[in-house]
Amino acid sequence: MSEPLQNQISALLLPDTQFTLAEADVKVRAVDADGRVAVALTCGFPVRGIEAALREGISGLLAGEGKTLASLELNARITSHAVQPNLAPLENVRNLIAVGSGKGGVGKSTTAVNLALALAADGARVGVLDADIYGPSVPTMLGLSGKPDSPDGKTIEPMHAHGIAAMSIGLLVEQDTPMIWRGPMATSALTQLLNETRWGELDYLIVDLPPGTGDIQLTLAQKIPVAGAVIVTTPQDVATLDARKALKMFEKVHVPVLGLIENMAVHVCSNCGHAEHVFGEGGGARMAAQYGVPLLGSLPLEIAIREQGDAGVPVVAAAPDSAAARAYRAAARNLAVRLALRPRVAPSISASLLG
């Protein structure tokens, strides 16, 4: 093994993030055989989508040393990360990520679905639980209809779309039926939905929480084993004021906030290309700096995001090479790296022996 080369490779930036490979805790192994170098990287997050960029970066570095890249092996080892005290991770779900917002109308559900699709596109096994009980929009966004199956009358098979598993209260009731439920009934239904869905093996389960910071959100955050939370806001002060409340709520129930996502940050005119900050500029960055949490990404205000969501094929799936899809993928990669750096759940003795 060549330690100097390993150190140089470790200093490369991870694509779409502010992290070097070393800072992202990527294990680097480089073997130099007469100038032909075999490189193996082991990461705690999905890497399929960044293989080409990593290959290019490593090849360029080696070329500067008069060497060539003989092979590049990428291994993603996504483990379970610590949840709130007195709770244990779900058996088949390695990491549950809650997506919340201080208020409605900031694009939380759209963001949750596109983040899930972005993680899946990078090679992770992903599910989405629509916990927005009063406005379940995930079935529409994923183009799902019909009722899920229950093979044994006790558990439910999730529905699948665009490579991810999904479950929503909206799939179990008629589309125009209002959910006139009080807090305890709603939280009971959602915890049941979480625990009785046959998710299979998932690396990430994205939970789209109801907007706000009331009784339902608080109870869910206390009862569901969450590895990390993401808060969605728009740049204007009215939205960031409410997002601060969501951040404080997660802190109170000992759920680590992985970061903020600033939605509708900029609108680029499709005719002339003029960029305009319709909802103000930099609100997410200011809030992130004030509270010491990362800004995972800034997403555009773009008509295609709305159109594709309404059509049941979100923009990450419908137009993967678009600027909007790239922004979602960058946010998802930052989220995955932030989670990978969190404390891990200690494996059981039997799991350690098997591993």
Q: Pseudo-torsion of CA 159, 216, 135, 174, nearest 10°?
A: 60
The dihedrals phi and psi of 197, each to the nearest 5 degrees, come to -85, 135
pLDDT mean values, one per 10 residues, the chain (355 residues): 88 94 96 94 96 96 94 96 90 93 82 97 96 84 91 91 93 66 71 91 94 75 90 74 79 90 77 64 71 86 86 94 94 97 74 48
260: left (phi over 0), alpha (psi -120 to 50) or beta: beta
Place of tokens 């004021």: 241
Tell me which fold the domain 93-340 belongs to.
Rossmann fold (3.40.50)
346 residue type, one letter: A
At CA 128, angle to CA 346 and CA 309, rounded to 5?
Answer: 150
DSSP for 135-201 reads: S--HHHHTT--S----TTSSSBPPEEETTEEEEEGGGTS-TT------HHHHHHHHHHHHHHB---S
Tell me, yes or no, if the two domains 3-76 and 93-340 fold the same way: no
DSSP for 70-115 reads: EEEEEEE----B--STT----SSEEEEEEEE-SSSSS-HHHHHHHH
| CATH number for the domain running over 3-76 | 3.30.750.140
Q: What is the pTM of this model?
A: 0.91
> Residue 353 has what pLDDT?
47
197 contacts 167 by C-beta, under 8 angstroms: yes
Domain limits, the chain: 3-76, 93-340
As a 3-state breakdown, the chain gives helix, strand, coil percent values, each rounded to 5, of 35, 20, 40
Distances (CA, A) of 206 to 40, 96, 110, 114, 168: 29, 6, 12, 10, 12
> Residue 352 has what pLDDT?
47
Per DSSP, what are the bridge partners of residue 30?
39
Tell me 30's DSSP state.
Answer: E
